[in-house]
Chain A
Amino acid sequence: MLMEVKNQINVTLKSIKYSIMKEMLNKGTFLMNIFFMILNDASFIIQWIIIYNIKEDVGGYTFNQVLLLWGIAAGIFGVSRFLFKNAFHLSDFITNGKLDSYLVQPKNVLLAVISSSSDSSALGDIFYGYILVFLSGFTVIKFLLFTLFMITGAIIVTDIAIILGSLSFWINRSDILADTGNGLMTNFATYPDGIFKGSARAMLYSIIPVGVTVYMPVQVLTSFNYSMFFIINVITLILTFFTFFIFYKGLRKYSSSNLMFSKI
């Protein structure tokens, strides 16, 4: 059992390594992608400078906290797309029968698929995340916590991408739905939760769990809080189990692109 886990981790790490190597084949493009992504993320600062010029707090957040919010949000999407890019393309794998070659391997199918591609521009997101943490005031504890929350958040975001992608086992052409769902996670993650009230707020802690990926971490980073720290980790774990359950449930419906469509 232990040996099996060790071998699985070994293979997944190798797969991630090769995916990154593929992205680095063209050094110029690789660096350009990273640079452009940092610039892209940074452009939003202008928006926040203007807003904070009007008012000193937005949704209970100071400017420094908004920096943290952005840092975590960017870092999360960076990590998930850098390591598990294909979680966001799972629909394509399912509808076009691309799971076949992974299914004949004696390893975890889901891990093999999501780790089989990387996105170099995502590295720009990760760098940008760290830059903002440094700008908002650096301490070692903050650095470590930030890194941890970047990982838990990335796992949750990847989980959701997988769940949305797995819908393709049941629903034809659900890829647009998955794209939209993933987009929602990004949209909400970059605004302070204090501006949302009532049911909108409740939604952000449930269906679109931006609360757990971004809002709670910002609070813990601002003033440490054991129970929130605990909740973030537990939810990450539970959601991951649920994700594997959904994917494997769907896999029984996998049709390997055989006869999906016919027109009269």
Chain B
Amino acid sequence: MEKNNVIEVENLKKNFIVKQKEKGFKGSLKSIFKPKLKVVKAVNNISFNVEEGEMLAFIGPNGAGKSTTIKMLTGILYPDSGRIKVLNIDPTKQRKKLAYKIGTVFGQKEQLWMHLTPYDNFKFFGAIYDLSKEETEKRIEEINSLFDLSKFINTPVRNLSLGQRILCEIAASLIHKPRILFLDEPTIGLDPVVKESIRKLIKKMNKEYKTTIFLTSHDISDIEKLCKRVIIVNNGKIVLDDQLINLKKQEGTLEEIISKIYKGEKTK
């Protein structure tokens, strides 16, 4: 059977130019007139493919280039060079077209209107994705039963707990039935019970709708419980791209194995 790649990345690069500032009054003056610039290779020649229906963990230490990569895949950042195809669309050229087909959840950034209820928010997102009123209502009902939101669907978002809020963030990002769901640290700051229910949901999405899941997380159990394949990046480069099972064959807990790789120690 031919493989159906939904994400294709080839030789992707992104540099940031960082202005460095020396301490003190003199340093401030100097940085105004003659700034010291340094190039940081945030993403340095990355290539990988993701097949339809895969659940992929894209992990690495802080500042490794995960977020930069995910942001380039979703059209937020422009790459310096390299080729990206997400669902056969180039995010840099057809950002809007791609946006109809993907969903995104950034754990640390809110997309919802805080003073509106989840229900009104979903309706707004329905309009953003050009769904008719009837379609939107139908989708909200589906999502409601899938996520079990009925208890707080009519409470303004600002009055919800963090867990309920993230649940609604994920729900809102699914209103248009995306084929790929990008999750950037979705479980950050949540208690174990909420984490568990979010993981269940993500699994369900993947199973029922064949949604491809692209996940970054620092939470090892997120990875362990959700993903079959792991890509580890460090210093802007892919240092490992393998099945989780293979990784687990090594000595120690998964956490120990991963932190060894982060530190750059040789693995068998």
Contact = CB atoms under 8 A, between A and B. Distances in A.
Direct contact of A and B (CB under 8 A): yes
Interface string B237-251: 000000000000000
Contacts of A106: 96-97, 99-100, 128-130
A25 B74 CA distance: 34
A47 interface: no
Nearest to A98: B109
Interface stretch (A151-159, A184-192, A252-260): A252-260
B20 A101 contact: no
Interface of B: 16, 18-23, 38, 40, 42, 63, 67-68, 71, 74-78, 95-97, 99-100, 102, 104, 106, 109-111, 113-116, 120, 124, 127-130
Contacts, number: 92
A264 interface: yes
A14 B113 CA distance: 12
A22 B102 contact: no
Contact of B77 (A3, A172, A255, A263): A255
B109 A104 contact: no
Most A-side CB within 10 Å, residue of B63, B76, B102: B76
Interface in A1-18: 3, 7, 10-11, 14-15, 18
Interface of A: 3, 7, 10-11, 14-15, 18, 21-22, 25, 97-101, 103-107, 172, 252-256, 258-264
A25 B95 CA distance: 35
Chain A binding surface, main DSSP class: loop
Chain B binding surface, main DSSP class: mixed
A105 B106 contact: no
Nearest to B104: A104
Contact of A22 (B63, B106, B115): B115
Nearest to B77: A256
A263 B38 CA distance: 11
Contacts of B104: 104
Contact of A254 (B77, B127, B130): B77
A250 B90 CA distance: 19
A170 to B, nearest CB: 11
Contact of A263 (B20, B78, B111, B113): B20
Given A14-B124, A105-B128, A100 B71 contact: yes
28 contacts: A10-B127, A11-B124, A15-B124, A18-B115, A21-B116, A22-B113, A25-B115, A100-B106, A100-B109, A101-B109, A101-B111, A103-B74, A104-B74, A106-B97, A106-B99, A106-B128, A106-B129, A254-B78, A255-B16, A255-B77, A256-B77, A258-B77, A259-B40, A259-B42, A262-B18, A262-B20, A262-B38, A263-B21
